[in-house]
Amino acid sequence: MEISKETIDRISTAKTIVFFTEAGISAESGIPVFRGKDGIWNKLKPEELANFNAFLKNPEMVWEWYNHRKKIIHDSKPNSAHLTIAKLQNFFQNVIVITQNIDNLHRRAGSKIIYELHGNIERNYCVKCHTFYNQEIDLSHGVPKCECGGLIRPDVVWFGEYLPEDQLNAAERAAENCDVFFIIGTSGVVYPAASLIYTAKENKAYLIEINIESTEISYLADESLIGKAGEILPEMLEKIKSKIGST
Ligand code: OAD
């Protein structure tokens, strides 16, 4: 896999770099992706697990699934892709992460500006009074309930729900105002998040896609790099360091 000179030049002279990262960036940390051969949605139904009506109908099942995902996430670690993005903060003025991932791995890797479009699995809230609960949820006494009697749910965005307005607005401003926009590990089919790719393109950002295969949005990229994010990003960082050192 060859990273072009133009890509290294564009990154090296950038002031603001945005990383739009999705499930694929966490695949090398052992967290399963959603689509494709081994994707979660091949085996399980999103309408039964990632949907508010399904939660009201069968909160036990939804909580069991989220606790299973929490365990996988707790047992995982940021990989070299997350860590490289955090390291880039030492070289560039603004490094911004926009993610649909709920796994907290960018924060654990040390990234400072993160806009989470689909919430965060570490947080929970009451569907009735909106009190937040950040502690571990104990399922041994059944579905967790708030003091007000309302059901507690994970603070993640399910199908049919709005994205958190403050996070989406901040992500849109970042996509409008960046010099380089990375698209990492996404199939690019879930909206409105995927529309940020078009926003960045319309605003003349240089688009770099990193994915193990080409996707529906590859044609938009100025450079499409096929391979694992955890291998390509560290290699790119070395090239950027030599370039910055040589100017
Ligand atoms: P997908 O599962 O749709 O796509 C994951 C992408 O990552 C695919 O294009 C893979 O080819 C790529 N990939 C896998 N391993 C990789 C690696 N090591 N390096 C680089 N790329 C790799 O996941 P998302 O696009 O994140 O929403 O899905 C978006 C949303 O759909 C999720 O937030 C979730 C899901 O349904 C909800 O649950 C509401």
| Tens-place pLDDT, residues 16-67 | 999 999 999 999 999 988 877 777 777 777 778 889 999 999 999 899 888 8
Assigned architecture for domain 34-75+123-156? 2-Layer Sandwich (3.30)
Residue type, 246: S
Quick: pLDDT tens for 165-196. 999 999 999 999 999 999 999 999 888 899 99
Ligand 1 site residues, Cβ closer than 6 angstroms: 22-24, 27-28, 33-36, 39, 46, 50, 100, 118, 157-159, 185-187, 190, 210-213, 215, 228-229
Quick: pLDDT tens for 134-149. 877 777 778 899 999 9
Contact indicator for 203, 175 with CB cutoff of 8 Å: yes
Task: Please tell me the distance from the alpha carbon of residue 193 to that of residue 183, in angstroms, as a whole number.
Answer: 11
Task: Please tell me the distance from the alpha carbon of residue 208 to that of residue 193, in angstroms, as a whole number.
Answer: 17
Dihedral (Cα; 219, 223, 225, 231), 10-degree rounding:
-150
Dihedral (Cα; 191, 193, 198, 199), 10-degree rounding:
130
Q: In what order do the strands lie in the sheet with 180-184?
A: 113-116, 94-99, 16-21, 180-184, 206-211, 223-226
CA separation (Å) from 118 to 2, 22, 28, 115, 169?
33, 10, 20, 9, 13
Start-to-end CA span in the chain (Å): 25
Q: Ligand 1 mean position to 20 CA, how many Å?
A: 11
pLDDT value at residue 247: 53
Catalytic center residues: 118
Mutate to test the pocket of ligand 1, among 25, 33, 168 (most ligand atoms within 8 A of CB): 33
Atom 23 of ligand 1, nearest CA residue: 23
pLDDT value at residue 139: 73
DSSP 8-state assignment for residue 48: H
Assigned architecture for domain 1-31+78-118+162-247? 3-Layer(aba) Sandwich (3.40)
Instruction: Specify the ligand 1 atom closest to the Cα of 117.
Output: 33
* 1-31+78-118+162-247 and 34-75+123-156 share one fold: no
Instruction: Specify the ligand 1 atom closest to the Cα of 186.
Output: 25
Average pLDDT on 230-246 reads: 92
Q: Ligand 1 mean position to 5 CA, how many Å?
A: 28
Quick: pLDDT tens for 86-126. 999 999 999 999 999 999 999 999 999 999 999 999 999 99
Instruction: Specify the ligand 1 atom closest to the Cα of 41.
Output: 36
Residue 130 pLDDT > 70: yes
Instruction: Specify the ligand 1 atom closest to the Cα of 187.
Output: 9
Residue bearing the bigger pLDDT, 32 or 150: 150
Atom 9 of ligand 1, nearest CA residue: 187
Task: Please tell me the distance from the alpha carbon of residue 172 to that of residue 169, in angstroms, as a whole number.
Answer: 5
Residues 6+ apart with CB under 8 A from 140: none
Mutate to test the pocket of ligand 1, among 121, 211, 225, 228 (most ligand atoms within 8 A of CB): 211
What mean pLDDT, rounded, does the chain reach?
Answer: 93
Q: Ligand 1 mean position to 187 CA, how many Å?
A: 6
pLDDT value at residue 190: 87
Q: Ligand 1 mean position to 29 CA, how many Å?
A: 13
Task: Please tell me the distance from the alpha carbon of residue 53 to that of residue 63, in angstroms, as a whole number.
Answer: 14
pLDDT value at residue 239: 96
User: Domain-by-domain residue ranges, the chain?
Assistant: 1-31+78-118+162-247, 34-75+123-156
